Amino acid sequence: MAEDRSPTVLRIDGGREAGIRRYFRAISAIVWKDLAAELRSRELMSAMLVFALLVILIFNFALELSVRSVETVTSGVLWVTFVFAGTLGLGRSMAIEKDRGCLDGLLLVPVDRSALYFGKLLGNLIFMLVVEAIVLPLYSLLFSVNLFDPRLLLVILLGSVGYSAVGTLLASMAVQTRTRDMLLPILLFPIVLPVVVAAVKASNAIQQSLEMATIWPWLNLLIAFDVIFVAAAFMLFDFVVEE
């Protein structure tokens, strides 16, 4: 028997679909705006890359490690680089929006403000992944270690998602203050610590070629934190930008 759908139901469904399309178009427009602005200025990526490369070079010359020692410290060195370069990028990303007056304009767009959050989250995540894609081969070259394990790449992706999710929310909060450069790390590091610890532990287990039974609990923890942090930031973002 054919389903009977009244014109009212069809109009409601059509309106809902149009709203969803408009929501995702807003997200993609924000991401594209960030990417286009960065391609023109290269202000954000250059700062993140220079910082990350300096950290790697300092570790390279400061640590005289054996092959076994390299496997032990690699996960810690990598995540120190990712965390500090990511924090620099998060702070600059929102500061640029604030200084240019773009943030106020984005908040006036007639779309749910969570679209702004997800757009900035995806933009920050892309910048962080680009930096990581450059750091990994450089680290492999300097320390003679293979980092192109699919499991390790998955851990880096999951850790970057959780870090960007929390960082985007807190950067939106800190950018409203005069001490934003100092306030963001103070707020961010304690909250994101579970993600970083889980990512370091999982990366270290992979580098030491441990069994998946040892790695899965850390991966599950990373996934759980990612879901929790994205959901919490989604619910809180509107209140943060209102303040």
Tokens matching residue 144: 């003679």
Instruction: Give the pLDDT of residue 196.
Output: 92
Instruction: Look at 213 and 60; give whichever has higher pLDDT.
Output: 213
Number of domains in the chain: 1
Say if 98 falls within a structural domain: yes
- Residue 7: band (very low, low, confident or very high) from pLDDT cuts 50, 70, 90: low
Q: Residue 67: pLDDT above 80?
A: no
Give the model confidence (pLDDT) of 151-182 as tens digits: 999 999 999 999 999 998 888 888 777 777 78
Say if 72 falls within a structural domain: yes
Q: List the domain range (segments joined by +) for residue 99.
A: 7-242
Instruction: Give the pLDDT of residue 182.
Output: 81
Q: Residue 148: pLDDT above 80?
A: yes
Say if 2 falls within a structural domain: no
Say if 12 falls within a structural domain: yes
Give the model confidence (pLDDT) of 191-233 as tens digits: 999 999 999 999 998 888 888 888 899 999 999 999 999 999 8
Instruction: Tell me the CB-side half-sphere exposure of residue 2, using CA atoms within 13 A.
Output: 3
Say if 50 falls within a structural domain: yes
Say if 1 falls within a structural domain: no
Residue 69 contacts by C-beta under 8 Å, 6 or more apart in sequence?
Answer: 63
How far apart are alpha carbons 87 and 184 in whole angstroms? 8
What's the 3-state SS for 64-94? CCCHHHHHHHHHHHHHHHHHHHHHHHHHHHH
Percent of the chain with pLDDT over 70: 84
Instruction: Look at 130 and 62; give whichever has higher pLDDT.
Output: 130
Say if 71 falls within a structural domain: yes
How far apart are alpha carbons 27 and 47 in whole angstroms? 25
Q: Residue 243: pLDDT above 60?
A: no
Say if 192 falls within a structural domain: yes
